A and B are shown apart, each in its own frame.
Chain A
Amino acid sequence: MNTLIEATTTRANPGIDPSLHIWGWEIVVYLFLGGLVAGIFVLAAALELRSGEKPRGPALRLTPFAALALLSLGMGALWLDLAHRLWAWRFYLFFHATSPMSWGAWILVLIYPVGLLLGLGSLNADQRAWLRGKTPGALATLLETFFGWADAGRRGILLTSVVMGVSLGIYTGLLLGTMPSRILWNSAVLGPLFLASGISTGAALLLLLPLDESERKTLLRWDAAAIVAELVLIALMLLGFATSGETGQWAASQFLGGPYTAVFFSCVVVLGLLVPLLLEVVEAKRHLPFATILPVLILTGGLALRWILLTAGQHSAFRFLP
């Protein structure tokens, strides 16, 4: 028998030992808000592409701007996480095709003009008049130019919004999924899983707003589809781990009997996915709206998914394999 009995190391580097803990709440907040904003982009554009008409509720018309504000908040958290904050501009002197973070940095910049045009085009006459009234004279021509672009290329902007939303949602998962060093992240499923979760949390945030009845029904249906997709992707991720080699089996065991089992299944799978799905079915069949509890559960579950995966992944290095 050559079983490892004891391993000691003289290394005690901050952030690295006893196990990796370089990424904390800042990254959790960013991954959550990034996914949520990705979801809002996809949903806001898809709602209009489907119905062919501008959003009915006044709140829904402003969501692209709210999305950009939330994204800025998330990027602020990301910036706080940098060890060399004054060097953040270095991301924009370089593009590295093999680095998901490099893709992400550029996606984050490109999504702003798209969101701005998406939002301006959504505004109704009253909202536009209000905005014109608030715009200083020097910028008035610029605003009119933007309105012109937002209206003329509406379909193109809607399609671009879907593409940008999907890119943002997927990259946040692939960022973790492309690191072979962290066994628990090392699954390509994380990309689509974070996208599905982003769409679901985005829908949950929209469901908290006063919505037109038909818009609410559509969002509930799409959210149910996103939740089902999430459940399938989580099952596929665990199945992928459990049926692969020693490292994958260890990763699966963390969620299937290991230290993260209880918190993952209770906070993410049951309270964040299964209960909201049940409430959505009840609302659809029995016309009993769960105005607040449903979105809150989904948002909490989405936050928990990222928190647990980020934490568990950092604890999953090759050196911890038995």
Chain B
Amino acid sequence: MGASSEAVRRGGAGPGDEPAGALPHRRYAMTVDTRQCVGCKACVLACKAENDVPDGFCRDWIVEEIRGEFPVLSAEIRSERCNHCTDAPCVKNCPTGASHVNEGGVVLVTHHKCSGCKACIAACPYDARFVHPEGYVDKCTFCLHRVQKGLSPACVGVCPTGTLTFGDASDPESSVAQLLRERRSKVNHPESGAGPNVHFLV
């Protein structure tokens, strides 16, 4: 798996690079427990270290929202990233086929096909993409290179409060599916119609 795993880690794998025997109907998803997240940014640092994200850029980030009316206030802290949308506008708008849907519905960018036209960046409802200094568009890969080895994404693995859960939402036995059944959840900007797969437990 060495070479293909490296390609996926860099986000550069294309369709057909999936290992033999990959389940065709996986639906990788993530839950973010907003009642657990303290905004420590360990997920951001783990991602940068794991994926060699260049200085000044990030593939995941922390959003803090304060709502209410003083003095009755509530805070919500969310760890956010690419939503690996089921009906991804970035993939639809990519003119070269570089942005594509890979194993488990994970949205990836094939670097050597990307001309850096930025149509996918404009199309993304979550502003989750950016232009890598090397000229291609980059984003969260759900750490597919780790997932294919049976590991969790770097952000999930490092989270000290158990905020992040990753798994196959189409498998009813998976932790993600159970959390989505048992807890109330929401997604960011459902009005985009893209079908995001990062769910926030509230």
* Residues of A participating in the B interface, judged by any CB pair closer than 8 Å: 1-17, 20, 22-23, 81-85, 87-88, 90-91, 93-94, 96, 98-102, 104-105, 175, 178-182, 245, 247, 314, 317-319
Contact = CB atoms under 8 A, between A and B. Distances in A.
Contact of B117 (A14, A20, A82): A82
Given A10-B44, A14-B130, A318 B95 contact: no
A101 B65 contact: no
B135 A83 contact: yes
B118 A247 contact: no
Nearest to B131: A83
Contacts of A17: 127
Interface string B147-184: 00000000000000000000000000000000000000
B195 to A, nearest CB: 12
Contact of A99 (B44, B73, B94, B130): B94
B122 A22 contact: yes
A94 B96 contact: yes
B124 to A, nearest CB: 6
Contact of A3 (B67, B118, B194): B67
Given A2-B68, A10-B62, A181-B89, 17 more contacts: A14-B57, A14-B131, A15-B130, A16-B127, A20-B122, A23-B122, A87-B96, A91-B117, A93-B96, A94-B96, A99-B119, A102-B96, A105-B95, A179-B122, A180-B123, A245-B191, A318-B125
Given A20-B122, A23-B122, A318-B189, A98 B114 contact: no
B23 interface: no
Contacts of B68: 1-3, 5
A96 B123 contact: no
A247 B131 contact: no
B121 A15 contact: yes
Interface of B: 41, 44, 56-58, 61-70, 73-74, 80, 89, 92-98, 112-119, 121-127, 129-131, 134-137, 188-189, 191-194
13 contacts: A6-B66, A8-B63, A13-B58, A22-B121, A23-B122, A84-B136, A85-B116, A85-B135, A91-B117, A101-B119, A102-B95, A318-B188, A319-B189
B127 A317 contact: yes
Given A10-B44, A317-B127, A4 B93 contact: no
A257 B74 CA distance: 32
A99 B93 contact: yes
B89 A180 contact: yes
Given A3-B67, A84-B114, A314-B122, A15 B131 contact: yes
Contacts of B97: 94, 96
Most chain-B CB neighbours within 10 Å: which of A17, A20, A88, A179? A179
B64 A8 contact: yes
A85 B41 CA distance: 35
B116 A94 contact: no
B90 to A, nearest CB: 9
A15 B116 CA distance: 13
Given A15-B131, A90-B96, A94-B95, A4 B67 contact: yes
Contact of A11 (B58, B95, B123, B134): B58
Contacts of A13: 56-58, 127, 130
A90 B89 contact: no
Given A22-B122, A101-B119, A87 B89 contact: no
Contact of B115 (A15, A87, A318): A87
Contact of B98 (A15, A16, A90, A178): A90
Contacts of A9: 61-64
A5 B67 contact: yes
A83 B67 contact: no
A175 B123 CA distance: 10
A179 B88 CA distance: 11
A21 to B, nearest CB: 11
Given A101-B119, A180-B193, A10 B93 contact: no
Contacts of A7: 63-66
Nearest to A8: B64
B130 A16 contact: yes
A72 to B, nearest CB: 18
Given A6-B65, A84-B114, A22 B192 contact: no
B114 A90 contact: yes
B122 A182 contact: yes
4 pairs of A and B residues whose beta carbons are closest in the complex: A83-B116, A84-B135, A11-B61, A102-B95
B56 A14 contact: yes
A317 B57 CA distance: 20
